[in-house]
């Protein structure tokens, strides 16, 4: 089969397209024929070694397709079932072996591309808004990178929960997309100091929660945007890692809560995984959640997809397509 391999950490050029053996499922696993592959910043972290692994490996943490074969002891899945998954390394290929417990059924009316675009970013948005800081009606929250894949979904889910949403974006084009997703206030951080603007919008009270996937360049001011006992959810670091922090800072700024969540800890069992996926697929099928798939690339062009993603010139979701 064709797949992407990383033999040494580095830039997008280390994503090598070539032939590898088709993996075979063991007990509790399934072989998935991949129809569409999600591209995410965690793939960059694996490629560069920020999240260390054992090269050579096939990157990618998200895909959708069809179960081709199942291993022993798999009873709730059969060949031919449409499935999607996240949080299992190795999706940048024509086939992948995935633990059956990580696979969720894809309902009729949801395409492979939609399912692959929704799993990782959608479940991230779901756990942030429903579990990390559960948004209540009337809460005001700040979402950075409001026109990104997570940002657009998180804005919609926050609005479903009754929240008032402030987002930050870099361009007027991205501002329009964020408003379309339901943002109540959109700040162009390239033109306006977002901390000052958040304080103006909230009349000096601050927001109940900040959802920050940017990291280094936004973190300090994000803390200043919180009201007393507000929650800072730092779920990514697209601009770089945040320097060490003395916890006393949180006390001085209002007894703040700081968490660095990750999806794996918000889908610890199958019941929780199915809850999040079921909500997302249901909202999508019902039209209350809209996806933006900005661009699809042939699997062989994975390096180009990574360059586009790291250049932060994209909005919505990027997908790789095998075959």
* Pair 98, 148 in one domain: no
pLDDT reading at 311 higher than 90: no
Q: Is residue 28 part of a domain?
A: yes
Q: Tokens 């329009």 belong to which residue?
A: 176
Based on the domain organization, do 289 and 215 belong to the same domain? no
Indicate yes or no: pTM above 0.85: yes
- Residue tagged 């005001």 (tokens): 140
256 burial (CB, 10 Å; 0-12 / 13-18 / 19+) is: buried
Same-domain pairing of 84 and 150: no
**For residue 274, what are the domain limits?**
2-120+268-321
Statement to judge: residues 255 and 150 lie in one domain: yes
Question: How far apart are alpha carbons 318 and 309 in whole angstroms?
Answer: 8
Do both 145 and 252 map to the same domain? yes
Tell me if the bond preceding 56 is cis, omega within 30° of 0. Answer: yes
Tell me, yes or no, whether 131 lies in a domain.
no
Query: Per the domain annotation, does 282 fall within a domain?
Result: yes
Residue 86 reports pLDDT greater than 90:
yes
Q: Are residues 196 and 218 in the same domain?
A: yes
The two structure tokens encoding residue 152: 């657009």
Q: How confident is the model at residue 296 (pLDDT cuts 50, 70, 90)?
A: very high
Domain containing 165 — which CATH number?
Answer: 3.40.50.720
132 by Cβ neighbours in 10 Å (0-12 / 13-18 / 19+) ranks as buried
- Is 144 in the same domain as 254? yes
- The predicted pLDDT at position 78 comes to 96
DSSP assignments along 169-232, one per residue: ESSHHHHHHHHHTT-SEEEETTTS-HHHHHHHHTTTS-EEEEEESS-TTTHHHHHHTEEEEEEE
Whether 188 and 256 map to the same domain: the answer is yes
Tell me: do 142 and 79 sit in the same domain. Answer: no
pLDDT higher than threshold 80 for residue 315 = no
Total domains in the chain come to 2
- 241 within 8 A of 217, measured Cβ to Cβ: no
Q: Which CATH number characterizes residue 99's domain?
A: 3.90.180.10
Q: Is residue 193 part of a domain?
A: yes
**Is residue 190, in this structure, part of any structural domain at all?**
yes
Is 313 inside any structural domain? yes
DSSP secondary structure string for all residues of 223-269: HHTEEEEEEEEE---TT-PPPP--THHHHHTTS-EEE---GGGG--S
- Looking at the structure, tell me whether residues 7 and 99 fall in a common domain: yes
Condensed to tens digits (0 to 9), the pLDDT of residues 160-210 reads 999 999 999 999 999 999 999 999 999 999 999 999 999 999 999 999 999
In tens, the pLDDT along 220-257 reads 999 999 999 999 999 988 888 899 999 999 999 999 99
């Amino acid at each position: 089969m064709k797949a992407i391999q990383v033999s040494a950490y580095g830039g997008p050029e280390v994503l090598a397209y070539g032939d590898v053996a088709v993996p075979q499922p063991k007990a509790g696993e399934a072989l998935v024929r991949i129809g569409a592959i999600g591209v995410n910043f965690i793939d960059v972290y694996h490629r560069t070694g920020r999240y260390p692994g054992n090269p050579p490996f096939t990157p990618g943490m998200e895909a959708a397709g069809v179960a081709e074969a199942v291993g022993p002891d798999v009873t709730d899945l059969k060949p031919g079932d449409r499935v999607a998954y996240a949080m299992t390394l190795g999706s940048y290929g024509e086939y992948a072996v995935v633990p059956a417990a990580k696979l969720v059924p894809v309902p009729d009316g949801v395409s492979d591309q939609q399912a692959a675009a929704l799993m990782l970013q959608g479940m991230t948005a779901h756990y942030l808004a429903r579990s990390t800081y559960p948004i209540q009606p009337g809460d005001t929250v700040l979402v950075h990178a409001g026109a990104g894949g997570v940002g657009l979904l998180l804005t919609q889910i926050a609005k479903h929960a009754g929240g008032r949403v402030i987002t930050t974006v870099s361009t007027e084009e991205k501002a329009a997309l964020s408003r379309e997703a339901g943002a109540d206030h959109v700040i162009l951080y390239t033109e306006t100091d977002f901390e000052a603007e958040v304080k103006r919008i909230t009349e000096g009270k601050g927001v109940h929660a900040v959802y920050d996937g940017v990291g280094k360049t936004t973190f300090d001011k994000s803390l200043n945007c919180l009201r007393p006992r507000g929650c800072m959810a730092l779920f990514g670091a697209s601009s770089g890692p945040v320097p060490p922090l003395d916890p006393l800072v949180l006390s001085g700024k209002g007894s703040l809560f700081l968490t660095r969540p990750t999806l794996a800890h918000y889908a610890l069992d199958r019941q929780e995984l199915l809850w999040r996926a079921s909500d997302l697929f249901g909202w999508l099928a019902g039209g209350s959640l809209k996806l933006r798939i900005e661009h699809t690339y042939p699997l062989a062009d994975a390096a180009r997809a990574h360059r586009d993603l790291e250049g932060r010139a994209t909005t919505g979701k990027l997908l790789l397509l095998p075959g």
